[in-house]
Structure 1
Amino acid sequence: MNTEELLKDSKGVVADLRTLAAMTSTPAGAQRIAWTPVWDKAEQWFMDMMKAEGAEISVDSAHNVFAKIQGETDDAVLIGSHLDCVYDGGWLDGALGVVAGMGAIKRYGIHGKKPKKTLYVVSWADEEGARFGRSCIGSSAVSGALNVEEAAVLKDNDGISFTEALKRYNLNVADFPKAKEEFLKKGIKEYLELHIEQAPVLESQNRSVACVGGICGCERQYITFTGQRAHSGCPISMRHDAFLAAAQASLKFRDIGLAHTTADKFAYCTVGKVSVVPDVVTIFPGICKISLDQRHVDSSVLKTIYDEAHDACVKAASDNGVDVSFESVWSIPPTIFDPHLVKLCQDSVEEQTGERATLYSGPLHDAAEMAKFLPSVMMFVKSTKGLSHCKEEDTPDADLECGVSAFFRLVDKVVNA
């Protein structure tokens, strides 16, 4: 495999990423929110670029956009990620995977050698869920996991329903399940995805790229502590303070996460939302509601940290003389990627960098939906300071080029097998 050619092609991917960023960003960050005109512009750019490479374009019933290069056989490989982002997001999240796929199409399109297997690249619809709150809309429609009744009534911050927003695209969410039938006709046998890490692990290891062995499962819930509100002049030892109970539990969550973290597998416990009633300076709260998001790649460990968090809440409630209740919000099991593809991915990383590196993803990705019914694998490129979902999101060009080159090695292995 020609290393100079790989570097040249990877530099082209970085250049295309910068073009996309310039088209779809403001000084506040990327603005490619799904189901908005800026996202539409990005999707049209993807289609136009791929048509220029001789790719056949199709859009399924869930608004997933596919580009196809016919191979010597109908057995197909799919490269995928998403072009949508969060509000004021970063230039690489999601876009890296799609644009790297575009780079693969360029290598095998009208200017390249015909691949043994047919090659598809997909821009999945609404991975982030930034506008309507439900992640992986397009890929979950294909996997069959999307609940269309629940999706239909989702609303954005302006009160516009998902159903209403889809009218602009002449789409009906009730038709989204058809995307699975359409997908199965494509003959796709493997799924590959390149993404930034969105964490500082690779940077801390002084590595540019790694294979991803799997994606963490997640247990997400709301926890409500209920005590008795009263004046802030009441002695602390005599209070039934709902916030102090929540704070005690939250500090314990941190200890639980650290206690179950190993060298290569992290346990995540995150309190992201806190609300108190009343929200008044001179009153300690009678009600405190917090969110708890817990993740781990091992289902048994995920259950353990979930149970330990429950026990911590019960103890915190007792210690502070308040009640506690639990409301499950969302649950998804861990995803372990296909062993054969993981090995090929590890081989590709080693060929590019001289060492094997494997880690697990804390964030969710479309690959989790694909892995439900297809052999799948991901590859990560390092993130500067681990920052993502913000305008500061970045990766040095040299690391991007290294990661894309390693990914092209993986694509070549799978497409020409």
Structure 2
Amino acid sequence: MIEPDLTLAASLFEQLHASSFDGVGITRDTYGAGEQRAHALMADNARRLGLEVRVDAALNLYLTLPGRRREKPVVMTGSHLDSVPRGGNYDGAAGVVAGLAVLAGWIREGAQPDRDVTVMGIRAEESAWFPVSYIGSTSAFGLLSPQALSSRRADTGRTLAEHIGELGGRPEALARGEAELRPESIDCFVELHIEQGPVLEGGGHALGVVTGICGSHRYRQAQIKGRYAHSGATPRSHRQDAVVALAALIERLQREWQDLEASGHELTLTFGQVNTDPMQADFSKVPGQVSFCVDIRSRNVDTLRLLDSLLLAAAHELEASHGVRFDWGPVSGSQPAVMDEPLQHALRGAALAAGVQPRQLPSGAGHDAATFSNRGVPTAMLFVRNANGSHNPEEAMAMDDFAAGVRCLGQVLAMRAGLAEPQDPAPI
């Protein structure tokens, strides 16, 4: 097996940190200066390696090592380069760095694959900035809805179309459904990513082979509207307390979640933001309004629908009992995805051949790999152990774990691209 260029990988991580450290964590804002610098860094290094570099209408980045038979479907890897505000340095970026490290090793040894191999730097995976899932990958397949281009970034208030256009993209082409990628032209997509939860760390596993990716159902701008009243002069029987109604909803849904898990459902439920109006709420007022968001995730569409129905039914009952009104606002979400079994076998076999015992696990977090899978592209994900979770500045991926993951990725890409003979897959 050709050794990947891990020195290049370490240098890229250092440069990414230097260009996106905000004083507390890492901020690579979607269609902003942070994400743009990361894409420029990867493109510059790819050119130095002699790779072909191109972008599409959404400014997704494609870094390609040409194969001997360019008419064959391309082998693809990669991930996103944006981050949440004050996140970590490895979320997303590790997958792009890993792909470049693999290709740099092949180039160093003068190896040429039978078919093209492309590392994709995907735009706008983190929906913290725009309330749309998988902007970059759906755009690449011509699937971004025209309405999504009118969505506004959380901090600037400006539209997605404006942000894309300012950086040189072509939002008008995206509105027409212009596609850069066709499923039949892609042999496979394999995404390396840090695990964003505690499973690998807790189980002592350096690597994880992902079985499937959860879909989501989200209310990002929900509100409960009651009535403001004097905190001392209004008895309980006359209150329309929005905060109490929300507390009752959260407590009720926690019980529903527990009951669904007990009956075999796999899901998560999060009320990630809860806010009263700072201009009206006061210690001496009964709160008349509260804003909140809801994030439901599962690998099963029926489970998503079931918990949503339970949520809405509970809210209807609380409207009657608490004298409040629920306003759910726009709904967003993403579809679950199943990972390709032969690719799972290949990743597991590559890990075992390298002396690493991987763990199988689902991904509760969303990833662009879901877009590829749901377009019919054979897709797989490899998780690298990461302490302290993700979406925070304390991400802590060990370089030895990353190196093991890159070697495993490189072996599978080489097999798919005709650079190495495939090994017999290990049974799952």
TM-score, normalised relative to structure 1? 0.88
1:141 matches 2:139:
yes
Equivalent runs, 1:190-229 vs 2, <5 Å = 190-221=188-219, 223-229=222-228
**CA positional deviation for 1:306:** 2.0
1:19 matches 2:15:
yes
1:379 matches 2:377:
no
1:249 and 1:135, CA in 2 relative to 1: closer, same or farther beyond 3 A? same
In the aligned structure 2, how far is the partner of 1:51 from the partner of 1:178? 31
What SS is found at the alignment partner of 1:371?
helix
**CA positional deviation for 1:197:** 1.3
Q: Which of the numbers 103, 114, 117 marks the counterpart of 1:116? A: 114
2:65 aligned residue: 69
In the aligned structure 1, how far is the partner of 2:414 from the partner of 2:355? 17
AA aligned to 1:16 is L
Q: Which of the numbers 281, 285, 288 marks the counterpart of 1:286? A: 288
Equivalent runs, 1:274-353 vs 2, <5 Å = 274-276=274-276, 278-353=280-355
1:190 and 1:297, CA in 2 relative to 1: closer, same or farther beyond 3 A? same
Deviation per CA, 1:388-411: give whole Å up to 9, x if none.
222222212222222222222322
1:28 aligned residue: 24
AA aligned to 1:41 is R
**CA positional deviation for 1:188:** 2.1
1:326 and 1:38, CA in 2 relative to 1: closer, same or farther beyond 3 A? closer
1:63 and 1:379, CA in 2 relative to 1: closer, same or farther beyond 3 A? same
**CA positional deviation for 1:335:** 1.0
**CA positional deviation for 1:314:** 3.3
In the aligned structure 1, how far is the partner of 2:178 from the partner of 2:99? 21
- Mean Cα displacement is larger for which, 312-321 or 88-97? 312-321
AA aligned to 1:295 is R
1:105 and 1:309, CA in 2 relative to 1: closer, same or farther beyond 3 A? same
Equivalent runs, 1:72-111 vs 2, <5 Å = 72-74=68-70, 75=72, 76-109=74-107, 111=109
**Structure 1 residue ranges without an equivalent (≥5):** none
In the aligned structure 1, how far is the partner of 2:45 from the partner of 2:61? 13
**CA positional deviation for 1:413:** 2.8
Are the counterparts in 2 of residues 128 and 136 from structure 1 also a CA contact under 8 Å?
A: yes
- Mean Cα displacement is larger for which, 202-211 or 10-19? 10-19
AA aligned to 1:379 is L
**CA positional deviation for 1:185:** 9.8
**Structure 2 residue ranges without an equivalent (≥5):** 423-428
1:299 and 1:37, CA in 2 relative to 1: closer, same or farther beyond 3 A? closer
What SS is found at the alignment partner of 1:128?
coil
- Mean Cα displacement is larger for which, 330-339 or 404-413? 404-413
Are the counterparts in 1 of residues 141 and 180 from structure 2 also a CA contact under 8 Å?
A: no
In the aligned structure 2, how far is the partner of 1:26 from the partner of 1:228? 40
In the aligned structure 1, how far is the partner of 2:379 from the partner of 2:263? 24
In the aligned structure 2, how far is the partner of 1:316 from the partner of 1:78? 49
2:425 aligned residue: none
1:363 aligned residue: 365
AA aligned to 1:134 is V
In the aligned structure 1, how far is the partner of 2:201 from the partner of 2:254? 23
In the aligned structure 2, how far is the partner of 1:282 from the partner of 1:108? 68
AA aligned to 1:337 is M
**CA positional deviation for 1:384:** 0.8
Equivalent runs, 1:50-65 vs 2, <5 Å = 50-65=46-61
CA RMSD for the aligned pairs?
A: 2.8
In the aligned structure 2, how far is the partner of 1:154 from the partner of 1:415? 40
1:284 and 1:45, CA in 2 relative to 1: closer, same or farther beyond 3 A? same
1:182 and 1:240, CA in 2 relative to 1: closer, same or farther beyond 3 A? closer
In the aligned structure 2, how far is the partner of 1:117 from the partner of 1:239? 69
In the aligned structure 1, how far is the partner of 2:275 from the partner of 2:177? 39
1:231 aligned residue: 230
1:256 aligned residue: 256
In the aligned structure 2, how far is the partner of 1:39 from the partner of 1:227? 41
Deviation per CA, 1:305-362: give whole Å up to 9, x if none.
2222233333444443444454451132211122222222232333345434211112
